[in-house]
Amino acid sequence: MKGTLRYLAGIAGPNGFGSRSTAEQVTQRSFFPCSHLTAIITGGTSGIGAETARVLAKRGVRVVMAVRDMKKAEMVKERILRENPEADVKLFEIDLSSLSSVARFCSQFLSQDLPLNILINNAGVFSPDLEFSEEKIELTFATNFLGHYLLTEMLIEKMIDTAEKSGIEGRIINLSSVIHSWVKPDCFSFPKLLHPISRYNGTRAYAHSKLATILHAKALSKQLKDRNANVTINAVHPGIVKTGIIRAHKGLFTDSLFLIASKLLKSISQGAATTCYVALSNETKGLSGKYFADCNETESSDLANDESVAFKLCTHSHALIHDYLHQSQIHSLPNLCLM
């Protein structure tokens, strides 16, 4: 209740920003010369991702958009360049639900010999019906978590190397959601995440995938600290924004949400603010394994903070991906990180 009242009142948090802050406002004071930075953003063709790409490009960051729809990406790029003709925006194709597509994207990006300072795992889907990826994995989990897990694993050495050479902290941001707190411990099982055996529920699958993104941040943060790597990883809740994912929710949940809590909906620029804040703010330097909402660090669920659950998730994910890549005879990969 206190959080809701704070949101409705637009009360700022300890850092002066809050639910009503926009992405442009929170990036006015960046913590280093953004013109030296390269950021990958997945799913940047609409909504929060497109706004994140626009604002980072406006601040001078070289933006690499990893997208499924290249035509839409070209339109976003054109809009960015109209606003800022000096912007450096590169487009690469990727399907986060496909492990082979993720591996192909990473190979293409790494062949460009570009630095990598920021990785924003933004892309996400909500599937109301049970669907499977080309690897026969439940589509929501495959896209929202597993594809981003592989992406991060394949690019982490590049990020560590960039941070070492530049002296600039690397940052990974996983897009999560407050809905992660709906997941109960006895319902979170890796085999069931891959292949649901009981009656499928799209909202539950989405919540599971968003819990997994926080657990990933917790687990990888520990490993990076153990390696003394100058790279951080955090998870963010953008808020409730009327994007394609929200519109995909049908039935009582969405109808009630829009009817009762319409004033809680953020604009797209407000929804992108927390991502941009964590990516560029000096105040988040050195913070890793944390969870942010409304541009401030906040608490995630007890399950999201369970290190043993995070360890199991990443161990199982590593094994699954390693087996798939071996079977696919994809050998030109860095050593995958194992917890």
Q: Which residues are catalytic?
A: 200
Surface-to-core class of residue 191, CB atoms within 10 Å of its CB (0-12 exposed, 13-18 middle, 19+ buried) = exposed
Surface-to-core class of residue 200, CB atoms within 10 Å of its CB (0-12 exposed, 13-18 middle, 19+ buried) = middle
Cβ atoms of 267 and 165 closer than 8 Å: no
CA–CA dist 80, 196 (Å, integer)? 41
The dihedral formed by the CA atoms of 230, 227, 123 and 64, expressed in degrees to the nearest 10:
50
119 SS3 class = strand
Surface-to-core class of residue 41, CB atoms within 10 Å of its CB (0-12 exposed, 13-18 middle, 19+ buried) = buried
CA–CA dist 76, 83 (Å, integer)? 11
Strands (E), the chain: 38-42, 62-67, 89-93, 118-121, 170-175, 231-237, 291-293, 296-298
CA–CA dist 157, 227 (Å, integer)? 11
* Six-digit token string for 89: 């925006």
CA–CA dist 279, 41 (Å, integer)? 11
Half-sphere exposure of 124 (CA within 13 A, CB side): 27
Cβ atoms of 147 and 225 closer than 8 Å: no
